[in-house]
């Protein structure tokens, strides 16, 4: 059970690319990476899950906590690149209604 987390921070913008599986074994590493960033005032955080093959409830818990931190620090939090399986997980739990989720990765400057 592996996880890879690539972080690109530029000023108050954090782009995180997660690959692998998010479960009880890997979620603590994800939490350790995301929580410090989520506590920055006004952070704009985007998490790309397009290379995540599996996620369980511990992963959802990490994202709920990060989302709450970002919101309480007047930031923006978005999850992109969800597979249909992960999209369904967010839909079933109702998190798709409160967290900004895009199944497509936004590209380019408009």
CATH of the domain at 14: 3.30.750.24
Q: Is residue 108 part of a domain?
A: no
Q: What is the pLDDT of residue 109?
A: 36
In a domain, 110, yes or no: no
Structural domain includes residue 49:
yes
Q: Which residue stretches of the chain have pLDDT < 50? A: 106-110
User: Which pTM value belongs to this model?
Assistant: 0.90
Rounded-to-integer distance, Cα 74 and Cα 71, Å: 5
Whether 55 is in a domain gets the answer yes
- Report residue 19: phi and psi, to 5°: -130, 145
Residue 108 has a pLDDT of 39
The SS3 call for residue 57 is helix
Q: Residue 1: its pLDDT value, please? A: 64
For residue 34, give every residue at least 6 positions away whose Cβ sits within 8 Å of its Cβ, in sequence order, or none.
16, 45, 47, 62, 66
> Which residues partner with 20 through β-bridges?
3, 52
Indicate whether 38 belongs to any domain: yes
Is residue 109 in a domain? no
List CB contacts of 80: < 8 A, sequence separation 6 or more.
46, 47, 48, 49, 50, 101, 102, 103, 104, 105, 106
Count of domains for the chain: 1
Residue 9 tokens, joined: 């921070």
Residue 99 is predicted with a pLDDT of 94
Report pLDDT for 104.
54
- What is the dihedral angle through the alpha carbons of 1, 60, 17, 85, rounded to the nearest 10 degrees? 80
Q: Which domain holds residue 87?
A: 3-102
Is residue 52 a part of any domain in this protein? Answer: yes
Confidence (pLDDT) at 79:
96
Is residue 56 included in any domain, yes or no? yes
Query: What per-residue confidence (pLDDT) applies to 103?
Result: 56
Separation between Cα atoms, residue 12 and residue 49, nearest integer Å: 20
């Amino acid at each position: 059970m592996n996880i890879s987390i690539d972080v690109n921070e530029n000023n108050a913008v954090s782009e995180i690319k997660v690959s692998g599986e998010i479960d009880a074994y890997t979620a603590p590493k994800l939490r350790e990476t995301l929580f410090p960033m989520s506590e920055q005032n006004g952070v704009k955080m985007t998490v790309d899950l397009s290379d995540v093959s599996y996620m369980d409830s511990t992963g959802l818990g990490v994202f709920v906590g990060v989302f709450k931190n970002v919101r309480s620090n007047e930031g923006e939090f978005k999850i992109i690149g969800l597979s249909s399986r992960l999209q369904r997980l967010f839909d079933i739990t109702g998190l798709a209604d409160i967290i900004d989720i895009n199944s497509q990765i936004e590209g380019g400057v408009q």
